[in-house]
Every structure is written in structure tokens, then in C-alpha cells.
Amino acid sequence: MTDEQRLADPSPILPYLPPHSAVIIRRREIGDSEDMARQIMARAHLHGVNVLISASRPPDRLEADGVHIPEQAMRHWSASDFRRLRPALVTASAHSERAVTCARKLGVDAVLLSPVFPTQSHDGTYALGIMRFAGICRRAGLPVIALGGVSGHRLRRVFRAGAAGVAGIGLFLPS
């Protein structure tokens, strides 16, 4: 996931990501620069990595492998948008069980649930904790990707709790 301060351009980490993984590019990092998005997507595809564009509202067309919908923007999307845009992958962010339920009803492929642990990106934000995260995973009805404070030494815990995958910024940066 891109981050204005720590990872505006994910190109340096692409060679280290597993094939078929995905990078989510948030609009604030690329602005309206379609050229930058195309360059990142070309580099990602060389490494077998998919690119999802974070979009608060359905775009006229989608020039990426998929779309990521911020939690507060789910109300602007519908299943008909997915049929029209034909994204290979649709994810949404969620910060509560209620938001996970909304994402499932919307028909997304997976949800990024955060923050699981305290995180540098959202200092002072209430973390779900591993027990609450595990409970939400069990009841989710769709794949849940752990985000927020996930580090190398916490990977086993989140997968045992039911995570289908992990997302992050600091997780993929050198210490």
C-alpha cells in the first residue's frame, strides 16, 4: 500500500513481493497522474504483481487490475459498478465488524481490516487486537487481510487468527 511519507512509489519493493500479490496505489500519492500510475503498473506487471487503484467513487474507466474502496466510500459503490468496470480484484478497507459486513454485502473479493496492532501510520488510533481480529475473521464470510502494525514477528499470529493475507507499508520496508 502506498504512503505519502514512507512509500509514495512502490517500485523499489516490487521485486521482493510474491507473484500474484497486489499493490494498492492511493490517489493522494499519484494525484491525477495517469502516467505515473501506468509506469508503476508496468513495473509491477514485470514482477507478476497486480495493481489496485484506491477510488472513493467509481471512475468512468479503470486502468488497473482492480480497485480498492476506502471504508467511508463504500456507500458510493454498487455491484453494477463492478460489472461495468470489470476489475479482476476488488478490496475494501474496514475498521470494524460492521464495515466488514458492509463490504461483504457490497460483493468485494476481500477486506483489509485495520489496525490489528498499534501502527506508525495511525499513531494513537485504537487497535483491534488479535482476539477481536480473530473473531471478526471467523464471522466475516470473505477473506480478511490484516493491516496495521503487522511486522515480521507478528505474521504467524495473524495467520493463526484467520487472516487470508497481510498488507502494510512498514512491513515491506527495510528496518
Q: Using CA of residue 76, residue 146, residue 42, residue 10, what is the dihedral sign? A: positive
> What's the pLDDT at 31?
52
Q: Is 62 within the bounds of a domain?
A: yes
- Domain range for 121 is 11-172
> What's the pLDDT at 66?
93
Name the region of 126 (left: φ>0; alpha: ψ -120 to 50; beta: rest): beta
> Which residues contact residue 140 at a Cβ distance below 8 angstroms, ignoring those fewer than 6 apart?
100, 104, 111
> What's the pLDDT at 175?
61
Q: Give the residue ranges of the chain where pLDDT is below 50.
A: 29
Segments in the chain forming alpha helices (H) = 27-30, 34-46, 79-85, 97-106, 130-140, 155-160
Number of domains in the chain: 1
> What's the pLDDT at 121?
67
Q: Is 4 within the bounds of a domain?
A: no
> What's the pLDDT at 169?
75
Which amino acid, 3?
A: D
What is residue 111's three-state secondary structure?
strand
Q: Is 104 within the bounds of a domain?
A: yes
Which CATH number fits the domain that encloses residue 127?
3.20.20.70
% pLDDT > 90, the chain:
59
> What's the pLDDT at 29?
44
Q: Using CA of residue 85, residue 88, residue 143, residue 51, what is the dihedral sign? A: negative
> Which residues contact residue 57 at a Cβ distance below 8 angstroms, ignoring those fewer than 6 apart?
73, 76, 77
- Residues 145/111, Cβ–Cβ less than 8 Å: yes
Q: Is 93 within the bounds of a domain?
A: yes
Angle between helices 130-140 and 97-106 (to 10 degrees): 30
